[in-house]
Amino acid sequence: MSRIGKLPIEIPSGVEVKFADGVLTVKGPKGELKQDIQPLVKLEIADNQIVVVPQAETKEARSFHGLYRSLTANMVEGVTKGYQKRLEINGVGYRAQIQGQKITLSLGYSHPIEYQVPEGVTAVIDKEKNNVIVVSGISKQKVGQTAAEIRDFRKPEPYKGKGVKYEDEHIRRKAGKAASAA
């Protein structure tokens, strides 16, 4: 039995959870999320707690046990607090501009890169640090995917650290060419 799957999920006040016809719906102050649930696991909602129960003792049911417990916990946290990722742009002339749901990135290529932010995710530029993009939303999956796609346009390189990186990411730096001893 999954150690993660056994843990109950507390339902905070102001959050409404429904499970019907294999679809979990979580509604809270920030919005609403839906997730299809495999028939190998069942959700029991009682006493302001959600418990994920496997329907069989197969390997597949045990693996879905922990997965759906984590997905459910992420949904509950998303509709109450939300998620955010902070991306830092490093490099001379590297910058970002946001107009509505479109980000225009200048990352040292011959052309600017335009990225359409998906629905349900917002991106803003930090007012204090002009080179930081804050990606936020209620779905952990969408926020993480959006941040990863923006980072993929120019990953940080190990010599000068130029590129787009997560704010808490550490770049292992390499030494450049050593001068020959002649």
- Domains 3-80 and 83-166 fall in the same CATH topology: yes
Give the pTM: 0.88
Query: Cα(25)–Cα(108) distance, rounded to whole angstroms?
Result: 43
- Domain extents in the chain: 3-80, 83-166
| Phi–psi pair at 147, nearest 5 degrees | -65, -40
For residue range 92-149, list pLDDT tens digits in order: 999 999 999 999 999 999 999 999 999 999 999 988 888 899 999 999 999 999 999 9
CA angle 105, 106, 111 (to 5 degrees): 105
CA distances from residue 87 to 114, 115, 124 in whole angstroms, order as listed: 16, 14, 11
According to CATH, the topology of domain 83-166 is Outer Surface Protein A; domain 3 (3.90.930)
Top CATH class of 3-80 equals: alpha beta
